[in-house]
Amino acid sequence: MTGNITANGSASIQLKGAGQLARGLKKAGVDMKDLRDINKQAAQVVAPEAKRLAPKGKSGNLAKSVRAGATQKAGVIRAGSKKRVPYAGVINYGWPKHNIKPTRFANQAAKNTEPQWTRLYEEAVRKIINRITTGDTSK
């Protein structure tokens, strides 16, 4: 897993190896939209746990800002926004120069839910491989 903090203060988690899988499947003729769908489903498994683990503070805005997203290469958990919660990345990843320790709540959420979202990927990959080997174009 890798973490990213964007310029607008939001944070995201990405699974390593997803890009390589996407390239291999694209070569095999798989519709890449299928991967976006499964990535979104996996992120939707992690998001509630990330909301639960997010530090609540006085407002609870950080937890409220957690949401699932996806690309063809990765399921993504986003937290924060430029206006309302610009500190999301700092809370998750820390800021050593300011003595802010990382909470890694989003990372921990991915770890806690790993059995559920890996099952989704296993099932999806199995279906895709079956479609490739049988020539079945239906989903």
What pLDDT was estimated at residue 104?
Answer: 96
What pLDDT was estimated at residue 22?
Answer: 66
Amino acid at 131: R
Q: What is the pTM of this model?
A: 0.77
What pLDDT was estimated at residue 13?
Answer: 53
- In the chain, domain spans: 2-134
Helices (H), the chain: 18-27, 32-53, 61-64, 88-93, 105-112, 114-134
Q: How far apart are CA 3 and CA 88, in angstroms?
A: 12
Q: pLDDT tens digits, the chain, 139 residues: what are they?
A: 444 444 444 555 555 666 676 676 676 667 777 788 999 999 999 999 999 999 999 999 999 999 999 988 889 999 999 999 999 999 999 999 999 999 999 999 999 999 999 999 899 888 877 877 777 656 5
